[in-house]
Amino acid sequence: MSQSDIGIYGLGLMGSNLALNFESHGHNVSVSNRTEGEGENLIASFMKEHGAGKRFTPSADLKEFVASIQKPRTILITITSGKPVDDFISSVLPHLDDWDTLVDCGNSHFEETRRRAASLRFKRINYAGVGISGGSEGARYGPSIMAGTTKKCWKSLEKILEPIAARSFDDTPCCLLAGSDGAGHFVKMVHNGIEYADMQILAEVYHIMRTLFKMHPSDISAKFRQWNYTSLGSYLLSISADILQVRDDSGVLLLDQILDSAEQKGTGRWTVQAASELGIQLPVVSASVDSRSLSALTGLRGRLSGSLFGPEPNSSSGLLRNTENALQHLEQAYLASRMIAAAEGFYLLTEASRHYKWTIDPSEIARIWQGGCIIRSELLRTIVAAYGQGSNFNHLLLSPIYSNRFRKLQEGWRETVTLAIKSGIHVPAMAASLQQYDALRSAYLPANLIQAQRDYFGSHGFRVINDPDGTHYHSNWNKQDLSDNTDDEPENSL
Ligand SMILES: NC(=O)C1=CN([C@@H]2O[C@H](COP(=O)(O)OP(=O)(O)OC[C@H]3O[C@@H](n4cnc5c(N)ncnc54)[C@H](OP(=O)(O)O)[C@@H]3O)[C@@H](O)[C@H]2O)C=CC1
Ligand SMILES: O=C(CO)[C@H](O)[C@H](O)COP(=O)(O)O
């Protein structure tokens, strides 16, 4: 067989499906995987399952693998992020030639990608950090692709990545260059942050339906399917409708047998950390990351569940007067909360692009997230429309197309959060989104008291309303005679 035009190292879930995707687009693909360790030999099993009559060249030996790819080489790395990627780069480097290209398609931290790109440039190797979203199905039939590399490297990479990508609503490829070095992995990380939020909000919707509205799982599934034909539609909603119908061999709902403890690989937490480094808060994503951590406290929750006082979710408590009405409110709360989560993610992208001198165009990000990826949804159509009106804003809430939708969503959103809180149901993402909305529409927040406290105990100074960008003032707070004000003890102390 002639030399391959692409190499894929790592034949796990993503690598094997990407290999099949490339092959079905006419590429000769060299495939490899580590063979040491006790695990199954992925090369052998991949070839056994998919190799017959296909243009794959398998190699267990790294030198042989590299030699089987035509120069200048393009090698996709589809392995576990972190140290494995550094180890692979060190071991493949001696076999590469000048300006071969390594493409890290895993969920690497964007700072690691920046470091690798910088160090490989000195070794005359092109490096691209490419976020791939869509799970196994996306990898096989069309993922959403977010790249970070040089414009020159992108010219050749684009030709091979664009054809295998998903298509957005306007039938353009869901594939773009987000900027240099770590930009692609940053965008993928924020995608995952929004993914965490979308999943948490939907879990809260399900929780309210199940525990308070006492809806049967198949009715919840039917409701989700109905919503999926509306502006609420999304991939995550559709798979959740499926999940609510899957039964095991004995006929029991599989979902009811799954431990209520969510795991996480780190991209959600990284999103919050990266935002925090830039002084940006992501309340809905943070609440969603925290919720996963909190869900893992199964032992503590189990012990406290019978002893801490509070309301029990109860449809006959009097709080829930009309379930049909409450369902309509929930629908509004679901959309409003997701809109705030998306807005905070896009705001982070805009600010990070400025900070890191990338070229992230939020409207383009919204476009390529319309297909292939886990957060693909009807909402992205609204976001594309909002940016289409002129991107002269850094926060989606500054777009009338976006912000006007909250008028109609208000009542249901507030009613739902209030109902959940009064009923003792944990809705951190919905509550955080509403709180964020209220904070952003508040010209005044009580941070003046915080500034006064900081100055009182630490002489940190404060700025004044009449000169907001000016001098810091300091007051000798405890030098005043306050005795008149402190005489009275409150009548009822808690
Ligand atoms: N699963 C998903 O939905 C998505 C995953 N990703 C990212 O893609 C990457 C691959 O994920 P996925 O395919 O799901 O993972 P899998 O667990 O299915 O596969 C992991 C791959 O990494 C290899 N690997 C692990 N450790 C090492 C090491 N120390 N040295 C060399 N190879 C190693 C494995 O080889 P071996 O079998 O020999 O251990 C295997 O080929 C990850 O970064 C992941 O975060 C991105 C988007 C979606
Ligand atoms: O990148 C992905 C989807 O876009 C991966 O599936 C990722 O593993 C999901 O994150 P986590 O494991 O933390 O839930």
ipTM here: 0.99
Structural domain boundaries enclosing 90 = 6-181
Distance CA 354, CA 405 (A): 28
Distance CA 399, CA 390 (A): 9
Q: Which helix (H) or strand (E) holds 180?
A: none
236-240: Cβ within 8 A, 24+ apart: 236/195, 236/198, 236/199, 236/202, 236/374, 236/375, 236/377, 237/202, 237/377, 240/202, 240/206
Verify whether residue 408 is a known catalytic residue. Answer: no
The conformation of residue 254, written as its DSSP 8-state character, comes to G
User: Would 322 be classed as within a structural domain?
Assistant: yes
- On the question of pLDDT at 160 being above 90, the answer is yes
Q: How many independent structural domains does the chain possess?
A: 3
Q: Which one of the listed residues 195, 331, 364, 378 is annotated catalytic?
A: 195
Ligand 1 contacts CB of residue 215 (under 6 A):
no
> Which residue is closest in CA terms to ligand 1's atom 45?
107
Q: Are 345 and 464 in a shared domain? A: no
The conformation of residue 312, written as its DSSP 8-state character, comes to P
pLDDT for the residue numbered 36: 80
Q: Which one of the listed residues 188, 331, 344, 364 is annotated catalytic?
A: 188
pLDDT grade for 487, boundaries at 50, 70 and 90? low
Single-letter amino acid code for the residue at 164: I
Q: Are 171 and 216 in a shared domain? A: no
CA–centroid distance, 135 to ligand 1, in Å, is: 12
> Which residue is closest in CA terms to ligand 1's atom 3?
135
In the annotated binding site for substrate, the residues are: 107, 133-135, 191-192, 196, 265, 292, 454, 460
**Which residues, including other chains, have CB under 8 Å from residue 195's CB and lie 6 or more apart?**
236, 268, 374, 375
CB of 16 closer than 8 Å to CB of 72: no
Q: Are 328 and 362 in a shared domain? A: yes
Distance CA 452, CA 243 (A): 52
Q: Are 232 and 309 in a shared domain? A: yes
CA-based nearest residue to 8, from 82, 84, 59:
59
Q: Report the CATH number at residue 472.
A: 1.20.5.320
Convert the pLDDT of each residue in 50-84 to its tens digit: 999 999 999 999 999 999 999 999 999 999 999 99
Verify whether residue 195 is a known catalytic residue. Answer: yes
Q: Which atom of ligand 1 is nearest to the CA of 132?
A: 47
User: Would 491 be classed as within a structural domain?
Assistant: no
Single-letter amino acid code for the residue at 124: R
CB of 180 closer than 8 Å to CB of 148: yes
Distance CA 279, CA 436 (A): 15
pLDDT grade for 480, boundaries at 50, 70 and 90? confident
